[in-house]
């Protein structure tokens, strides 16, 4: 019995010892493993490049030209001369064949940076109105009934397009009178010709021949008067010539009233079947490719402006146009001042090729007054943007051009003031610079040394 108890105690002690040994063995393994991981992480962290070791390249717009021009690429040559790598410098090489010079055409135009007097900007508000020199009010030449209308409001028409047809008794009467006068003239011509032959044969007296010629001349005058009457009614020369054609319905009083010029139909005051009087305005047409903007000038400003001596440029912006600017010129200042507002009306003629400025719109106007300090200015089309930076392409040497950052100032007409980045006399790309931009940014699409 005692031996049995001893065996049980021995077995329990052996189990406890085994469990203890297993616990400490496992803990030692975990510690070793964690230590190995920490060591590896520390080594990896030490191997990671730091800020300067990363070799992050500054943008070419932040590097000097001397630095860019002395840089070498992975091919061991000056980078700006490398056809594969120059793009990373913002440089491009242009063949002279693509540059327009003097009378030679080309895809790219260049210009020299110049200075001009800074213009003081005078802000105004104005209203778009029709250019009255490009506006016509179409009326019916004769009283009658409108048979058909061919156009709708807002429709663009060309000169001689039919606007509407009108049936007028006066036209039918004038056509019949024309045919009658034409027959009289034909008879008078035959009579004059016969009398001339008889007189040549000494069969009739000279006075009879002269009387026949007089009747012929009178018939020609009466026919011409009737023809003029038809022309005033709106018939074309071709339509009048066809009156003698028996196959044509010449006795109808329907005539077509045509557009006197190109334009847009702005107003229409007639419907089919309506009787209209002569002279009643039925349609208003206007060429909206050029409009007038009328603004009010203060008395002090009106005294300093003289559009008759020099053109004063202006910029017009319509509300809701997304900032789109329209170029114009102040060309007229009224000779009278409004007694209550003490302002003078000023007219700005504005180019409106797209027809987006419509009569009645309120717009903001900036008059660009001459005078002031000389500033550097370049064409707006020469300035490009990339990732929030503005730049222009400047000639470096030979056929090599490089983009340089610029700080923009105010816009004056089609010019923009350069506050920083250019000096007078530098040669830049004036138009077509987007072609160079596309070429330079090829590296962003997978070209250059990065490959």
Mean pLDDT of 85-113: 83
pLDDT tens, residue by residue, 253-264: 888 888 999 999
Structure tokens at 128: 């778009």
The more confidently predicted of residues 40 and 285 is 285
Reported as a single tens digit per residue, the pLDDT across 140-174 is: 888 889 999 999 999 999 998 999 998 888 888 88
| Band of residue 236 on the pLDDT scale cut at 50, 70, 90 | confident
| Residue 302 confidence (pLDDT) | 81
**Percent over 90 (pLDDT), the chain:** 22
Q: What is the DSSP string of 144-194?
A: EEEEEE---TT-EE-TT-EEEEEE-HHHHHHHHHHHHHHHHHHHHHHHHHH
How confident is the model at residue 7, as a pLDDT?
56
Residue among 403, 397, 321 at smallest CA distance from 362? 321
How confident is the model over 259-309, as pLDDT tens digits? 999 999 999 998 888 998 888 899 999 999 999 999 999 888 887 787 776
The rounded mean pLDDT for the chain is: 80
Q: How far is the first Cα of the chain from the last one, in angstroms, to the nearest whole number?
A: 88
Measure the CA–CA gap between 258 and 328, rounded to whole angstroms.
32
Residue range 123-131+287-365, CATH number: 2.40.30.170
Contact, 426 vs 395, CB < 8 A? yes
Closest CA to 431 of 376, 356, 381: 381
Could you tell me which CATH class the domain 67-118+375-445 is placed in? mainly beta
pLDDT digits (tens, 9 = 90+) for 58-70: 788 888 888 888 8
Which pLDDT does position 291 carry in this prediction?
Answer: 95
Which residues have C-beta within 8 Å of that of residue 279, sequence separation ≥ 6?
139, 140
Residue 40 has pLDDT above 70, yes or no: no
Q: How much is the pLDDT for 38?
A: 45
DSSP states of 11-67: HHHHHHHHHHHHHHHHHHHHHHHHHHHHHHHHHHHHHS--TTTTTPPPPGGGS-HHH
Per the CB < 8 A criterion, the answer to whether 179 and 169 are in contact is: no
| pLDDT band with cut points at 50, 70 and 90 for residue 41 | very low
Whose structure tokens read 């007028």? 168
Residue 137 to residue 103: CA distance in whole angstroms:
45
Between 436 and 429, residue with greater pLDDT = 429
Distance of alpha carbon 383 from alpha carbon 391, whole angstroms: 6
In angstroms, rounded to a whole number, what is the distance separating the alpha carbons of residues 285 and 268?
Answer: 9
State the pTM of this model.
Answer: 0.55
């Amino acid at each position: 019995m005692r031996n049995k108890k001893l065996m049980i105690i021995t077995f329990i002690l052996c189990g406890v010892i085994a469990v203890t040994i297993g616990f400490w063995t496992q803990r030692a393994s975990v510690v070793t493993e964690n230590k190995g991981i920490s060591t590896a992480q520390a080594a990896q962290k030490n191997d990671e490049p730091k800020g300067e070791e990363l070799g992050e390249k500054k943008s070419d717009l932040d590097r000097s030209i001397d630095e860019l021009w002395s840089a070498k690429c992975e091919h061991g040559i000056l980078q700006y001369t490398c056809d594969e790598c120059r793009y990373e410098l913002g440089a491009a090489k242009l063949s002279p064949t693509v540059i327009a010079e003097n009378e030679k055409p080309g895809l790219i135009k260049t210009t020299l940076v110049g200075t001009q007097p800074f213009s003081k900007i005078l802000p105004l508000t104005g209203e778009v109105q029709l250019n009255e020199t490009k506006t016509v009010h179409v009326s019916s030449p004769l009283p009658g009934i409108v048979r058909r209308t061919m156009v709708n409001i807002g429709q663009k028409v060309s000169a001689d397009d039919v606007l509407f047809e009108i049936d007028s008794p006066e036209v039918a009467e004038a056509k019949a009178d024309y045919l009658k006068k034409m027959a009289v003239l034909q008879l008078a011509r035959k009579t004059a010709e016969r009398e001339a032959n008889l007189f040549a044969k000494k069969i009739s007296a000279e006075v009879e021949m002269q009387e026949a010629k007089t009747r012929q001349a009178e018939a020609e005058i009466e026919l011409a008067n009737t023809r003029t009457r038809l022309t005033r009614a709106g018939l074309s020369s071709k339509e009048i010539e066809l009156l003698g054609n028996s196959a044509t319905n010449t006795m109808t009083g329907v005539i077509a009233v045509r557009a006197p010029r190109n334009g847009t139909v702005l107003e229409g005051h007639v419907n089919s079947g309506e009787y209209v009087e002569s002279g009643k305005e039925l349609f208003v047409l206007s060429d909206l490719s050029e409009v007038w903007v009328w603004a009010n000038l203060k008395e002090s400003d009106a005294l300093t402006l003289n559009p008759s001596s020099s053109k004063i440029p202006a910029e017009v912006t319509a509300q809701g146009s997304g900032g789109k600017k329209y170029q114009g010129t102040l060309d007229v200042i009224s000779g009278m001042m409004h007694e209550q507002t003490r302002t003078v009306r000023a007219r700005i003629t504005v180019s409106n090729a797209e027809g987006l400025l419509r009569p009645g719109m309120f717009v903001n106007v900036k008059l660009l007054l001459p005078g002031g300090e000389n500033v550097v200015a370049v064409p707006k089309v020469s300035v490009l943007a990339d990732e929030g930076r503005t730049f222009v392409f400047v000639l470096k040497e030979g056929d090599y051009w490089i983009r340089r950052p610029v700080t923009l100032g105010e816009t004056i007409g089609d010019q923009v003031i350069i506050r920083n980045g250019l000096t007078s006399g530098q040669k830049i790309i004036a138009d077509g610079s987007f072609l160079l931009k596309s070429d330079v940014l090829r590296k962003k699409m997978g070209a250059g040394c990065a490959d």
